[in-house]
Chain A
């Protein structure tokens, strides 16, 4: 069993839909990271959160430390949101990231 699990693996949506991507982890962590990877490979860090909720534009990330679960929401989705979204957790010991398998999102006009 992976230490960081994501669902769904693939997601298609119509422009304007509300999107939710889930991430569960089994390791003790100091923070949970959400990353976005566009075709071509470049990775952008979206959020780093250790409690509660963070919002940036149309993106919202939440985390429940007790349940070891985090969600990434995209409101009013747009085709430019099409990308792979990856959650990553740094274990309490060691400066590294353990990654989820990623969620491939396609938003159609």
Chain B
């Protein structure tokens, strides 16, 4: 079966712009969670969506937002980009949620803000 697909793989944006990243989960998975990975902070949880509802949120500013569609595909948006937003953004898909079920990561979107 198809894995978790993240698009685009690479992105270069200018400070102040906004960006939208996409994550298509494994078919049948209803939970999608997003993570940011930077050399300084490591992996950090952004938010988790389940059946189109945000169920959990990490400690990130309101510039970071997301949504989930009825087909479970999820998007995350970062507005007013800052240099510090340069990172690898990963999503993970799970049947019901990461806590008690297996999950699969996508390959990530590498965002560079210049």
What residues of chain A have their CB less than 8 Å away from a CB belonging to chain B?
A: 30-31, 35, 40-45, 48, 86, 88, 90, 94-102
Contacts and interface: CB of A to CB of B under 8 A. Distances in A.
Secondary structure class of chain B's binding surface, majority of residues = strand
Given A41-B88, A41-B110, A44-B105, A94 B56 contact: yes
Given A97-B98, A98-B45, A99-B43, A42 B50 contact: no
Secondary structure class of chain A's binding surface, majority of residues = loop
The 5 A-B pairs with the shortest beta carbon distances in the complex, nearest first, are A95-B97, A99-B43, A43-B105, A96-B45, A41-B108
Contacts of B98: 90, 95-97
A88 B102 CA distance: 13
Contacts of A86: 43
25 contacts: A31-B99, A40-B107, A41-B88, A42-B107, A43-B108, A44-B105, A45-B105, A48-B102, A95-B31, A95-B33, A95-B48, A95-B50, A95-B55, A95-B97, A95-B99, A96-B33, A96-B45, A96-B58, A97-B35, A97-B43, A99-B42, A99-B43, A100-B42, A102-B42, A102-B43
